[in-house]
């Protein structure tokens, strides 16, 4: 059996152009593999129809552009270029004529290329959306393979990366244009605001990715900061940036909160891991903010200390240190810092005596570090016990850590992955929107035509 696929173009005046043969498919005996279309047939049909359709569209467009828009006289053609345009159904080459500007009206340039101006980005929005979405979830190389497997396109990891940077820069322009954050209004105005939503919880955390520079393949690490806002009801939202690269971290966090509908009279709790890069970020963003050290990070550090204490050789010291750590945890849980520091002093004295052994040296350092950590974060340590019993947030755990979800899964898990600060930062801007299910929405804001994409008429 033979199947012919033709395209019939019906012009705006209602007349049909002669049918254009697109693809002819042969089928012999019916087998499971030859029921209907194969993936290869599908790609061939899509790319052939795409080429046929776009050719007709471009001819009509450029013909219409030849006439001067003011006096309607035909403009003289100056030359013809070929314009390469990437779409989800193939890379196309269009004839793009250049016309002299019409002498009827003074013009800024002597000639114009209407098609080159219209298709200035050289990549169709829908392809750009697909490429950047997948590149935010899997590596650039896997994105290339994935798209080539299902669509008639062949691209290169470097092209995908360029596309990610291009669209992420567009996201960044909006942040830059918004400028620094300032809290609007005054307490009297906030008092008149409508009853706010339930409290908002925001966790802020940092993680590390392997660095490279343009000249150095291995260049240590740099820090990535992520935040996730968790409303009492509704979906959570996240954001991320590269510390030291981003110029507008406060604005970024503020945008995240306003996207969640934050009002100035709304209670908000910031939970952080106590690192100095994340501690100051949420300050002065909301008059109703509460800043806390995430209990998860306190208890993780205590767990490390307990593991270290179990390795101590002298049983007497081991028992007393473990008992002290137990008390320390209890005091910290109840926000009793006065007693917590007393216990820490006892602990320091006890482990100091173990100094000569390797285990002793290790735990002595850990205890000193922990004391420093608690000292620095004193203002952010509440009575966790009371909050917990009142049903107020004290930790963003046990939900998957935001660092793992936003950063590690894409940027750290494969050990050979190395990033420039700019590359990591830009990818994060796409990835957070994809994870929040906002990426398509961003594209439809940029390209409203995507929303009603097609305007197609189904065959009867």
Between residues 75 and 291, which has the closer beta carbon with respect to Zn ion?
75
Which helix or strand (DSSP H or E) is residue 228 part of? strand 221-231
Closest approach of Cβ 117 to Zn ion, in Å?
18
Q: Phi and psi dihedrals of 362, rounded to 5? A: -60, -50
Tokens of 185: 């209004």
The span of 95-103, 225-233, 243-251, 420-428 binding Zn ion (CB under 5 A) equals: 95-103
Q: How many residues bind Zn ion (CB under 5 A)?
A: 5
Between residues 114 and 125, which has the closer beta carbon with respect to Zn ion?
114
The CA distance from 68 to 446, in Å, is 29
Are 385 and 298 in contact, with CB atoms under 8 Å apart? no
- The reply to whether 304 sits near Zn ion by the rule CB under 5 A is no
Are 396 and 298 in contact, with CB atoms under 8 Å apart? no
Between CA 324 and CA 333, with CA 330 as vertex, the angle to 5 degrees is 140
- The reply to whether 99 sits near Zn ion by the rule CB under 5 A is no
Out of 102, 168, 239, 363, which residue is the one contacting Zn ion (CB under 5 A)?
102
The span of 28-36, 101-109, 312-320, 446-454 binding Zn ion (CB under 5 A) equals: 101-109
Between residues 102 and 281, which has the closer beta carbon with respect to Zn ion?
102
Instruction: Kindly give, in sequence order, each residue whose CB lies less than 8 Å from that of residue 293, ignoring residues fewer than 6 positions away.
Output: 271, 272, 273, 274, 377, 380, 381
Closest approach of Cβ 65 to Zn ion, in Å?
13
- The reply to whether 188 sits near Zn ion by the rule CB under 5 A is no
Closest approach of Cβ 101 to Zn ion, in Å?
9
- The reply to whether 71 sits near Zn ion by the rule CB under 5 A is yes
Question: Given phi > 0 = left and psi -120 to 50 = alpha, else beta, which region is 210?
Answer: beta
Look at residue 243 and give its three-state secondary structure.
coil
- The reply to whether 104 sits near Zn ion by the rule CB under 5 A is yes
Closest approach of Cβ 67 to Zn ion, in Å?
8
Closest approach of Cβ 58 to Zn ion, in Å?
23
Four-residue CA torsion sign, 81, 84, 85, 91: positive
Are 114 and 76 in contact, with CB atoms under 8 Å apart? no
The span of 70-78, 265-273, 328-336, 339-347 binding Zn ion (CB under 5 A) equals: 70-78
The CA distance from 238 to 438, in Å, is 11
Out of 8, 70, 458, 460, which residue is the one contacting Zn ion (CB under 5 A)?
70
The span of 98-106, 267-275, 303-311, 451-459 binding Zn ion (CB under 5 A) equals: 98-106
Chain residues binding Zn ion by CB under 5 A are: 68, 70-71, 102, 104
């Amino acid at each position: 059996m033979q199947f012919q696929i033709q395209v019939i173009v019906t012009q705006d005046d209602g007349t049909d152009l002669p049918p254009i043969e697109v693809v002819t498919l042969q089928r012999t005996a019916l087998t499971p593999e030859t029921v209907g279309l194969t993936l290869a047939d599908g790609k061939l049909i899509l790319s052939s129809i795409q080429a046929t359709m776009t050719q007709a569209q471009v001819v009509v467009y450029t013909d219409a552009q030849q006439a001067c828009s003011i006096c309607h006289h035909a403009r003289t053609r100056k030359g013809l270029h070929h314009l390469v345009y990437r779409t989800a159904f193939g890379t196309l080459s269009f004839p793009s004529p250049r016309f002299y500007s019409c002498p009827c009206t003074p013009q800024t340039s002597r000639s114009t290329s209407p098609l080159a101006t219209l298709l200035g980005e050289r990549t169709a929005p829908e392809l750009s959306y697909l490429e950047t979405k997948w590149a935010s979830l899997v590596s650039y190389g896997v994105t290339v393979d994935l798209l080539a497997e299902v669509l008639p396109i062949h691209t290169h990891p470097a092209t995908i990366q360029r596309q990610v940077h291009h669209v992420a820069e567009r996201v960044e322009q909006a942040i830059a244009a918004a400028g620094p954050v300032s809290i609007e209004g005054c307490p009297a105005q906030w008092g008149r605001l409508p009853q706010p939503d339930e409290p908002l919880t925001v966790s802020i955390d940092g993680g590390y990715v392997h660095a490279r520079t343009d000249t150095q393949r291995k260049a240590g690490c740099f820090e990535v900061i992520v935040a996730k806002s968790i409303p009492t009801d509704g979906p959570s939202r996240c954001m991320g940036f590269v510390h030291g690269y981003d110029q507008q971290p406060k604005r970024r966090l503020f945008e995240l909160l306003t996207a969640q509908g934050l009002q100035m009279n709304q209670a908000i709790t910031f939970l952080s891991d106590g690192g100095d890069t994340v501690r100051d970020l949420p300050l002065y963003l909301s008059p109703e903010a509460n800043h806390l050290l995430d209990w998860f990070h306190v208890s993780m550090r205590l767990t490390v200390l307990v593991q270290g204490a179990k390795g101590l050789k002298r049983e007497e010291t081991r028992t007393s240190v473990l008992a002290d750590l137990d008390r320390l945890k209890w005091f910290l849980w109840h926000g009793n810092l006065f007693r917590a520091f007393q216990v820490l002093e006892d602990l320091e004295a006890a482990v100091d005596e173990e100094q000569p052994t390797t285990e002793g040296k290790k735990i002595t350092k850990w205890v000193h570090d922990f004391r420093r950590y608690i000292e620095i974060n004193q203002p952010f340590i509440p009575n966790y016990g009371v909050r917990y019993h009142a049903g107020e947030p004290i930790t963003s755990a046990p939900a998957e850590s935001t660092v793992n979800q936003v950063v590690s899964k894409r940027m750290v898990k494969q050990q050979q992955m190395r990033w420039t600060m700019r590359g990591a930062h830009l990818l994060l801007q796409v990835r957070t929107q994809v994870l929040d299910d906002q990426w398509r929405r961003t594209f439809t804001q940029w390209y409203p035509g995507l929303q009603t994409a097609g305007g197609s008429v189904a065959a009867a």
